[in-house]
Amino acid sequence: MHSHIKKTAFFVLSGLVFVGISWKEKNYMDRPEKNPPVLTINGFTFTDLNGNGRLDTYEDTRLPVGQRAANLVEQMTDEEKANFLIGTGMPGFDGLTPVVGAIEGRVPGAAGGTYAIPRLGIPAIIVADGPAGLRIKPIRPNDSKTYYCTAFPVGTSLASTWNTELVQAVGKAMGNEVKEYGVDVLLAPALNIHRNPLCGRNFEYYSEDPLVSGKIAAAMVNGIQSNGVGTSVKHFAANNQETNRLSINEHVSERAMRELYLKGFEITVKESQPWTIMSSYNLINGTYTSARKDLLTDILRNEWGYKGMVMTDWFGGFAGFTSIKAGTSNSIAQLNAGNDLLMPGLPSQRDAILAAIKSGGISKEVVDLNVKRILELVMRSPVMTNYKYSDKPDLKGNAEITRNAAAEGMVLLQNKTNVLPYTKTGGTIATFGVTSYDFISGGTGSGDVNEAYTISLIEGLTNAGLKTDEELKNLYTPFVAKEKAVELEGRKNKGILALPQRLPELDLSEKLIAQKAAGTELAIITLGRNSGEGGDRKVENDFNLAADEIQLIDRVSTAYHKAGKKVVVILNIGGVIETASWKNKVDAILLSWQPGQEGGNSVADILTGKVNPSGKLTMTFPVKYEDTPSASNFPGTPADDPKEVTYAEGIYVGYRYYNTFKVKPSFEFGYGLSYTNFQYSDIKINGMDASGNTNVTVKVKNIGKVSGKEVVQLYLSAPAKSIDKPVSELKSFGKTTLLAPGETADISFTLSSKDLASFVPVQQAWVAEAGKYTVSLGTSSINIKQSGNFSLDKNMVVEKVQAAFAPDTKFTDLKLR
Ligand code: BGC
């Protein structure tokens, strides 16, 4: 081993590390089954990381990690530092010549990693996507084993559970796969705000509301990291569109940044201390987020106390492929801002960094700090202790977890005459819509997962003992197979960023549908939508239903209603669609989201009543796209190739807008039906105590006939004297356990003084204004069950902060008054 290390050290010192470490040598240090030699000193055992036969300071595990990392930094050469600040490239990213030297680490299909420094015993860490589960290659050359991962429900689905305990359990399961497949950091969770329903990656994100986003993300991070692997909370910040994502300049006010686009990250950082954070692609007010010191140092570290490291998104800071090829990014500005690691890492970046180190173009202090933070990450990663991963995570157990999580994330949007749960036995169900036969487990791009299977709706219904119509199945199956092949062919050569297309609907005659209405008990129509990284959705044929879908709904509902039978629509979608124009034509609507690999089983659990739906919308379903507050400012100008976008709606995103400006949605934020009913009573509000906390309690009783869970939402209306404020904002939420009929739960909430405060720009502070506060407890943002008041005598400056996000153009945020 010693000689290998020496040989590699020679390569490193001669500056040839990018191409110089041979596969064998690199692998030698990384391979978990090879243990470095051990030293025993005074009865203590130490790992001789660099194999030099003595205990160096950084090898002394009794010392704090920070001290050990600092000692390592002292021993690194400039070349090693320059190399360490970039990743090892992105293997398999076709068509990008600069990444030709990329190193495929020990986990094929991972998104990247860091360089090993074998002479110092520093191993390479591996990072891999993503938010719905680990994304690695399931099949490896010359290997008979498979490496499938569990496709968990997408972000919108998980958030719709409003159940932080459940999300934490999902995170724990995901993190177990990360660890057992030899990965150190999962590039998840993603919690950008749903600013506009067309954002192609909304399925990965949680909500239009920062509190829901932050609480769900923190639970996810805590779950994943409980395995001793890391997370990368992304994309920091305001990555709210895919159109021109590498170069879009967003004009956003400091207030909107702090109250909306940063709030969820603040909660996540404070409640879960993620190991890493990923800066986003976009610019804010003229500067790339990855090069913004106010964002990455002043706010993230100094204000919020973040201790981990920051990496760029893949090629973040490059305006596009031309600049990637030309090597023109702003690496030095990124490092200076506090963006420690540049991913996936390009030779041009390393060269620029090394030149700057040599010429004094970057200070030693900054470089050492960035390097130290990356080292601290490496030192806490499983690879550092040669963790012997099994390549055998508990896929069976995790399938059960995803099945239950997906069911809890489903939102029952409509249930006329209690058509659901469907408890009839003996009859046949007619399943319409191509998506019934080709269920969508999750979106595309880096948020995709290579799962072993997806349970379709038909399979789910069959597994639940329900009978589905054979003739329809025989008509749909070959049609779907053919259309699916065409669709896949269309994106075959476009790699990870290929955008999925909707499959056309099968044109069924009115006569055939009438026959089905006569011969079956119930009609189910599944509508599907898919989207992914690299593109936003469109209004026509995507947000709005396409003509063939409307025709299907019309024909099926007319025929079934004529025959005195019911129609259920399943929405197998990742983001919001239009529902107002057609919802009254059908009886029930179940929003199943993209529910992961067990999707069909999870839907069947809800349809049959095995699980009582308790999911609630974490975003608004507007009547029409044009009602969206950002509709006229998305995805930016000029329309044919947007370069900039103004967040003119300010803080009025989602329900903050609809409820304040009295625009009636189709389904409001927080909405979702249950098979039972809940009664709220006995609200009690204890005014602010000495430590600035206000306590609220309420009783919630199940007054229906079946067991169920309820999400209790706390909205606060604050006095709006010095600044405009939304009519109410979600400030806390809780979910009951499964309550049996007649059972009551006591729910309590604590509001901190910061929860009462808004960001007042002229004061550069979070201020809770004097006056009357109304607490509203509801089952949605509109359906309030109990409310009460308390008041504050004096204005309270809760937190004063440094100015950030200086505007690069003049505009004013939307105001009510
Ligand atoms: C995405 C990130 C992802 C990264 C690595 C980027 O294109 O925006 O979310 O983690 O690729 O795959």
**Residue-wise pLDDT tens digits, 415-431:** 999 999 999 888 999 99
pLDDT at 224 (0 to 100): 98
Q: Is the CB of 187 under 6 A from ligand 1?
A: yes
Specify burial of residue 687 (Cβ count, 10 A radius: 0-12, 13-18, 19+). Answer: exposed
Name 729's bridge partners: 716
Ligand 1 centre from 199 Cα, in Å? 15
Instruction: Give me the pLDDT at residue 18, please.
Output: 27
Q: Is the confidence at residue 2, as pLDDT, over 50?
A: no
Half-sphere exposure of 685 (CA within 13 A, CB side): 18
Are the C-beta atoms of residues 308 and 65 closer than 8 Å to each other?
no
448 Cβ closer than 6 Å to some ligand 1 atom:
no
Atom of ligand 1 nearest to the CA of 188: 10
CA–CA dist 284, 644 (Å, integer): 10
Closest ligand 1 atom, residue 187 Cα: 10
314 lines ligand 1 (CB under 6 A): yes
Averaged pLDDT of the chain: 93
| Residue carrying structure tokens 């669609």 | 577
pLDDT value for 24 = 30
Dump the DSSP string for 674-727: -SS-EEEEEEEEEPP-TTS-EEEEEEEEE-SSS-B--EEEEEEE---SSS---S
pLDDT of the residue at 104: 82
Residue 482 confidence (pLDDT) above 50: yes
pLDDT the model gives residue 51:
83
CA of 59 to the centre of ligand 1 (A): 33
pTM: 0.95
Average pLDDT for 720-735: 97
Residue type, 436: S
In this prediction, residue 293 carries a pLDDT of 98
pLDDT tens string 530-585: 999 999 999 999 999 999 999 999 999 999 999 999 999 999 999 999 999 999 99
Ligand 1 atom, smallest distance to 127 CA: 5
pLDDT digit string, tens, across residues 654-703: 999 999 999 999 999 999 999 999 999 999 999 899 999 999 999 999 99
What average pLDDT does the segment 384-412 reach? 97
Question: How far is it, in rounded angstroms, from Cα 104 to Cα 208?
Answer: 37
Q: Identify the pLDDT of residue 327.
A: 85
Is the pLDDT at 47 greater than 90? The verdict is no
313 tagged catalytic = yes
Let me know: does 181 contact 393? Beta carbons within 8 Å: yes
Which DSSP category does 132 fall into?
T
**SS3 at position 203:** helix
C-alpha 281 to ligand 1 mean position (Å): 10
Residues with Cβ < 8 Å from 684, sequence gap 6 or more? Answer: 695, 696, 697, 698, 788
**Amino acid 6: pLDDT:** 29
Q: Residue 613: which region, alpha, beta or left (left: phi > 0; alpha: psi -120 to 50)?
A: beta
pLDDT, position 794: 96
Pocket flag, ligand 1, residue 313 (CB < 6 Å): yes
Of these residues, 294, 313, 542, 813, which one is catalytic?
A: 313
Residues contacting 582, CB < 8 A, separation 6+: 545, 550, 553
Residues 6+ positions from 139 with CB-CB distance below 8 Å: 146, 147
407-416: average pLDDT: 98
- CA distances to 420, 436, 597, 807 from 460, rounded to whole Å, are 16, 10, 11, 52
pLDDT tens-digit map of 112-165 = 999 999 999 999 999 999 999 999 999 999 999 999 999 999 999 999 999 999
3-state DSSP assignment of residue 36: coil
List the one residue out of 216, 180, 610, 185 whose CA is nearest residue 397. Answer: 180
Query: Which among 27, 226, 10, 187 has a CA at the least distance from the CA of 123?
Result: 27
Contacts of 447 (CB under 8 A, 6+ apart): 129, 130, 131, 132, 154, 155, 190, 201, 203, 204, 532, 533
Asked whether the predicted pLDDT for residue 99 surpasses 60, the reply is no
Q: Give me ligand 1 centre to Cα 725, in Å.
A: 35
Q: Output the DSSP codes for 730-761.
A: EEEEEE---BPTT-EEEEEEEE-HHHH-EEEG
Kindly indicate the confidence band of residue 35, based on its pLDDT and cuts at 50, 70 and 90: low
**Which pLDDT tens digit goes with each residue over 572-590?**
999 999 999 999 999 999 9
